[in-house]
Structure 1
């Protein structure tokens, strides 16, 4: 008899367990923002060159450029694939070349284009605040942050610090914040690529120097040309 009651109890228990309602898992709703903006931090690494250079002008070593800042995105169409952006950043540009700047006995600045055997080292570097203003196209959606892009526009830079250092083997000439330099620089640029990695090219529209001339009488009208990579980080 006890055996029968035990069997009945077990059957009833398993039957009740089987009839228990299995509640579905409730997942939190994720709200997707269809009115997104591509506000981004940017960082670029470039190889620095010059255009419109004097005769016999040469560069050696790797002339490095670094810049970084923040861009505010302003979409212009409903699908948000076309936009305008502007922002602020800082840049560091370093150049190794044979355009030398020294001083004569009266302290006047002397510009020359010298062979590399005529000096030990020569470099120019500058620090600037920059303001990019760009027009943007991308095939982005609010569901993905990975997309193709073509961004282009103008960049305005204000050089707040600069220095040239020449070691000719006998003397070292260091000229800080050369007054011959155009502190306000501007040029056009283009960046294109996919996701974080993008190619970058900048061409300066105004010369680095205001009215400098070499000892041979040539005007120094060199302009910046920077090529490298730019990274965008949300």
Structure 2
């Protein structure tokens, strides 16, 4: 009986190995199950497509006519970009990228944003010394569609330049304050938040790493009476595959 069980196991194993010599071996496969079927690790696959999952880690600054108070080191953010890379040349040195991105922008301005008395527009007050708080943050959650033209040299160890922009929707704008010895207070009620977001960005680097810069052209607030605020971000990008 044991011999029979062993024989059956060997036959199944041989059948599994023999399958590689069948018509299935002619198909492009890496024997990866599920979501990792197309995953190629840190190196691109044989398709020659690059930078399909890109993570940007950024330092953010708020820009305003006349200047906004200094942003401390905690003014960081990140972008998660899922991209489709379409080569435009036979050598694959030029390609077009389009995808979906989530952006988390966070800054720590010295001042605070306040709605006016009629709750119709927003002002930034740089001198908020009368407010009893030890720190504050201001930020956005954004969903965007990035579009890029990508230029690179030959080979995996290539030099690359990405030039593009994005358009998206501001999911949420928030302001957070930490009073002395109290829990954080989060404010999401600024009246005239501009939901439409658009801007330009650029990456320049080697292989999986690049320097990154992004400038949001769309103002933070819609009203003509509001302070004209926009965001500048710069940092590093890592392309996972």
In the superposition, the TM-score normalised over structure 1's length comes to 0.72
Name the residue aligned to 1:131. 145
Q: Partners in 2 of 1:209 and 1:161 — Cα distance?
A: 12
Select 2:203's aligned residue among 180, 187, 191. 191
2:158 corresponds, among 129, 132, 147, to: 147
* Alpha-carbon distance in 1 for matches of 2:111, 2:219: 14
Match of 2:239 in 1: 232
Aligned length: 196
Q: 1:34 to 1:108 in 2, by over 3 A?
A: closer
| Secondary structure, aligned partner of 1:124 | strand
Give the whole-Å Cα distance in 2 for the aligned partners of 1:87 and 1:104.
Answer: 38
Partner residue of 2:125 out of 109, 113, 137: 113
Deviation at 1:223, TM superposition (A): 1.1
Q: Does 1:59 align with 2:66?
A: no
Shift of 1:70: 1.1
Over alpha carbons, which structure has the higher Rg? Answer: 1
Deviates more, 1:183-192 or 1:203-212: 203-212
- Output the CA distance in 2 between the equivalents of 1:51 and 1:82: 33
Distance (Å, rounded) in 1 between the aligned partners of 2:93 and 2:115? 54
CA contact (8 A) 2:115 2:191 kept: no
Deviation at 1:53, TM superposition (A): 3.8
Q: Equivalences for 1:170-209 in 2 at 5 Å?
A: 174-176=186-188, 178-209=190-221
SS at match of 1:117: coil
> What is the match of residue 41 of structure 1?
53
Report Cα offsets for 1:77-135 as digits up to 9, x if no partner.
11110111101121111111134234677767763423253332332121111211000
Q: CA deviation at 1:69?
A: 2.3
SS at match of 1:86: strand
In the alignment, what sits opposite 2:25?
none
User: Are 1:78 and 2:85 an aligned pair?
Assistant: no
Equivalent residues of 1:76, 1:84 under 8 A apart: yes
Partner of 2:99: 87
Asked if the contact 2:79/2:102 (under 8 Å) is kept, the reply is: yes
Instruction: Give the aligned partner of residue 122 of structure 1.
Output: 136
**Equivalent position SS for 1:211:** coil
Q: Unpaired segments of 5 or more residues in structure 1?
A: 1-30, 214-218
Give the direction of change, closer, same or farther, for the CA distance of 1:118–1:136 in structure 2 (3 Å limit): same
Structure-2 residue corresponding to 1:24: none
d(CA) in 1 for partners of 2:125 and 2:91?
54
Alignment gaps of 5+ in structure 2: 1-27, 29-44
